[in-house]
Amino acid sequence: MGGWTALWARQAGLTTLLADAWGAGNPRATSSDETRIIRSSHGADDFYPVWSRRARDHWLRFGQVWGEELLIETGALWFAHREDGFETASAATLTGLGIPVERLSAPEVADRWPAIGTVDLAFATFEPEGGLLMARRAVQAVARAFAVAGGRFEPTALRPGRVVGRRMVDVIATDGSRRVAGSFVFACGPWLPDLFPGLLGGLIRVTRQDVLFVGPAAGDSRFGADRLPVWVDYDRAFYGVPAVDGHGFKLAPDGDGPPFDPTDGERVIDPASITAIRPFLADRFPDLAGRPVVETRVCQYESTPDTHFIIDRHPELENVWIVGGGSGHGFKHSPRIGEYVVERLLGAPVGPGEERFSVTRPRGAPAGLRSAAATR
C-alpha cells in the first residue's frame, strides 16, 4: 500500500520520500512471501469487486510497462459446500457487474482438474480472470519504478515527530534525524498500532499466519500454475496457490492466528500447522496428503474488526493519513488503494461506499471478506 501510494504520488508530480525499515519485499512485511491471490469474489459486496478489477488492470498494465510478469492468470476456483453460501452470493454479484464467473458441478471440477478431490463439494465457482500475483517481485518492482520516476527511497524506520496545532511537522528516523514534509502517509501494516496506539491500538489486531509449501512427487506437474488455478475453500477456511517459480504447492489455514510481534517475532511455523493441513489435503488434493512440506513462511495479518480497510485522515492531524488494516485481503487491491490515497490527498471527496474506510466510525462484526473463519 505504501509503495503504490508513493509511486502514484510521484507520478502526480509530488516530491515524495518512501521509507521502509528493512527494504522492499523484506520477510517481515505483510506483503512479503512469493505469491498472493487476486480475485473479485467478495460475497454480496459490490464495492470490492470493482476495486479488484481496477487493481487487476493496473497490475497487468504496469507489468507490461516494466517488463515483468506480476499477474499470472490461472483463474480462481471457489469450493462450495452449500447453495446458500459465499460462492452463490459472489457469483450473483459478479454477474451483475459483468465480471466473468462460471458455476461448475463437482464432476465438472474433477474433469477439468483431476488432481482435485470433490466428494464433499456441492459445486464450485470459477473466475477465469483471477490468478496469482508475484508478491515479493511486485513490491520490489514498485520500489524500482518509484526510484526511476524520481522518488527518493530510504531504508529506515520513521515515527511521528513534532506536532504544531493540527499539523505534523516532521517524522523521526532511526538515527534521530528528522524529515519535514507537507503531508505524511503512514501505510505501515502491522506496525500501525505501535505508531498510533491511542487511535489504532484497539482497531488493528496483528496475528501470526503460517504458510506452507508442499512438494509434489517427482515428475508430477499437475500442481503447477500452468495446470491448476488458485483456490479458496471458504467454509473450511483454507486457501492456496499452485506451484510457481520453483516453489511448492502453497496452502494456508485462513483463521486468525495468535497475536504476533512483527519486529521481533520468530518466523518459524508452529508444527501444529503441518498437522492441520493433512486432513484437508486428504480430501481436496489427495495425492499431496502424504507429501513433504518443502518450505514454510510466517506472515501476519493486521485485521480490523469488520475486515474493511482503514484509509482516512487522522482525526486530529489534518496532514496525516492512515492506510492499513489489510485484513488478509488487501494486497491485490494495493494499486487501487495507492491511487485512491493520492486522489484524497489531492482533494477528492469520500465517494459512495468509501465511508467504510473511516478510522473513527464504529466497526461491527466481520464482513467475512476473506473466509468463513473471518466471520466467527
The answer to whether 140 and 25 are in contact (CB under 8 A) is yes
* Average of per-residue pLDDT across 41-68: 97
Q: List, edge to edge, every strand of the sheet that includes 310-313.
A: 184-186, 320-324, 310-313
- Residues in Cβ contact with 306 at an 8 Å cutoff, skipping those fewer than 6 apart: 356, 363, 364, 365, 366, 367
Nearest to 253 by CA among 371, 149, 350: 371
Least trusted range by pLDDT, from 3-12, 137-146, 264-273, 362-371: 362-371
Helix (H, G, I), strand (E, B) or coil at 31: coil
Query: Tens digits of per-residue pLDDT, 96-125?
Result: 999 999 999 999 999 999 999 999 999 999
What integer best gives the mean pLDDT of the chain?
A: 96
- Torsion over CA: 6, 9, 11, 17 (sign): negative
Assigned C-alpha cell, 28: 517481515
pLDDT above 70 (res 374):
no
Question: Which class for 59: exposed (0-12), middle (13-18), buried (19 or more C-beta within 10 A)?
Answer: buried
* Average of per-residue pLDDT across 152-157: 96
Nearest to 46 by CA among 367, 323, 376, 273: 367
Q: Measured between alpha carbons, how far is 46 from 44 in angstroms, rounded to an integer?
A: 6
Distances in whole angstroms, Cα of residue 276 to Cα of each of 30, 255, 298: 23, 12, 15
Residue percentage of the chain with pLDDT more than 90: 96
pLDDT at 368: 85
Task: Please give the model's pTM, rounded to 2 decimal places.
Answer: 0.97
* Average of per-residue pLDDT across 326-351: 97
Query: Tens digits of per-residue pLDDT, 318-329?
Result: 999 999 999 999
The answer to whether 265 and 298 are in contact (CB under 8 A) is yes
- Residues in Cβ contact with 119 at an 8 Å cutoff, skipping those fewer than 6 apart: 106, 283
Nearest to 37 by CA among 21, 55, 13: 55
Q: Measured between alpha carbons, how far is 19 from 161 in angstroms, rounded to an integer?
A: 15
Nearest to 222 by CA among 240, 238, 241, 242: 242
pLDDT above 90 (res 186):
yes
pLDDT at 31: 81
pLDDT at 152: 98
Nearest to 329 by CA among 364, 301, 359, 355: 301
pLDDT above 60 (res 62):
yes
Assigned C-alpha cell, 148: 526511476
* Average of per-residue pLDDT across 75-88: 98
pLDDT at 375: 61
